[in-house]
Amino acid sequence: MLLIVADPLPRQQERIIQFGIFTVGDLTIDPVTGTTLTEHERIKATVAIAQKAEEVGLDVFATGEHHNPPFAAPGNPPVLLAHLAAKTEKLILSTATTLITTNDPVHLAEDYAYAQHLADGRIDLMLGRGNTGPVYPWFGKDIRDGIDLAVENYALLHKLWREENVSFEGKYRTPLYGFTSVPRPLDGIPPVVWHGSIRSPQIAEQAAFYGDAFFHNHIFWPKEHTERMVDLYRRRFEHYGHGSADQAIVGLGGQVFMRANSQDAIREFRPYFDNAPVYGGGPSLESFMRETPLTVGSPQQVIERTLGFREYVGDYQRQLFLIDHAGLPLQTVLEQLDILGGEVIPVLRKEFAALKPGHVPDAPTHASLLAACRATATKETDQSYAAPVTDRWTGTTAETDNAPSAL
């Protein structure tokens, strides 16, 4: 399908970062009570957490994709996202992540476009390779092909959302001849795609090539690692002609636990940290707080630490926090959301908006892309330039570059 290339959004709008939360959907024993939620309880809790996120004024809720215990995250995230779309009104619903390596791109194109319609455009994808090795053979794939699968599968997904009668031949699936994915994306605008990675420079390169957004997990690694990955993405984004390096679309993860008094926060969170499957038995809580972006303390400490992220990644567009893992009770998670929405996010919004230069774009949304597209159509009703749209927020497409269609 041919679509109108949109101009960037008007610069007079207030520039703000998107704030939200993401969940990995783990089922972990509560080390304080010795209890573990049932799958049903964890799933229902996830819905309650998303609804609370909207209630306290957050912008984004993102869910992981898992196919194995000890997780109750959806194996098919559009099921959860579509349900949440009916339970919310403004919240952007995203994945964190969708496994581009082991999912069929045809199913991804269909399922997420369908969810996008149900949510009136409030659906994003964060694509990733996943960090659970056994998932590859479960779906007939080889983990050694992870990067190549990510490259080929996204090339097809990208094409399916922008063209009809698609013919495609690759290495990892049967060919397509004259195939049209349905439903077509809402308003002809594909869901916004963020390429998520912790340690793979090839994924940062892929995001830059297409002019898509890049999300760094930003939890387990020191800031120097995050800085290098984001810098690579920014430089390659500029190389491919999508805009200057500081106009690249960047998102970060983060991990927080807060109480009014920092000592109370550390004392309450410590048993959850010490027994968490991911880092339990490893570095001490204090070491992890010092060497990674994990912040356990007062709301003011979270504000100061988060504002500091800008010092090594530049101006960025999305900040997601992990707050519901390691067996934390639902009531505690809801209390964390009250603190985030009431004490932390309002200050961060104000500070980030004041610091952000006018030429740095906001994160793209369905609404902003549609508005920009309509504005362009109104100005150029005689002969609008039609082309497959990749990154409407800069008005450039990967297809215009002479580089090959893969990394």
Query: DSSP string of 337-395?
Result: HHHIIIIIHHHHHHHHHHHS-TTSPPPP-HHHHHHHHHHHHHHT-SS--EE--SBTTTT
* Contact partners, residue 283, CB within 8 Å, separation at least 6: 291
DSSP state, 218? -
With residue 281 as reference, give the H or E element that holds it: none
Tokens encoding 283: 């570095």
Nearest to 88 by CA among 126, 125, 60, 124: 60
Q: Which of 14, 12, 4, 13 is nearest to 379 (CA)?
A: 4
Q: How many residues does the chain have?
A: 407
- Distances 337 to 51, 124, 263 between C-alpha atoms, Å: 11, 22, 19
Query: In angstroms, how far is the first alpha carbon of the chain from the final one?
Result: 24
- Alpha carbon of 338 to those of 43, 258, 326, 353: distances in Å? 21, 10, 19, 22
Q: What are the residue ranges in the chain where pLDDT is below 50?
A: 1-14, 382-407
pTM, rounded to two decimals: 0.88
**Element containing residue 88 per DSSP (H, E):** none
Phi, psi of 338, rounded to the nearest 5 degrees:
-60, -40
**What pLDDT is stored for residue 398 in this prediction?**
42
pLDDT value, residue 392: 41
**Fold (CATH) for 14-357:** TIM Barrel (3.20.20)
CA–CA gap between residue 222 and residue 233 (Å, rounded): 18
Kindly report each contact of residues 161-169 with a partner whose C-beta sits within 8 Å and lies 24 or more positions away, as own/partner: 161/109, 161/113, 161/185, 161/190, 161/191, 162/1, 162/3, 162/190, 162/388, 162/389, 163/1, 163/388, 164/1
d(CA 168, CA 174): 9
CA distances from 351 to 113, 303, 307, 354 (A): 35, 10, 8, 5
List, for residues 220-267, the tens digit of each pLDDT value: 888 999 999 999 999 999 999 999 999 999 999 999 999 999 999 999
The answer to whether the CB of 339 falls within 8 A of the CB of 258 is yes
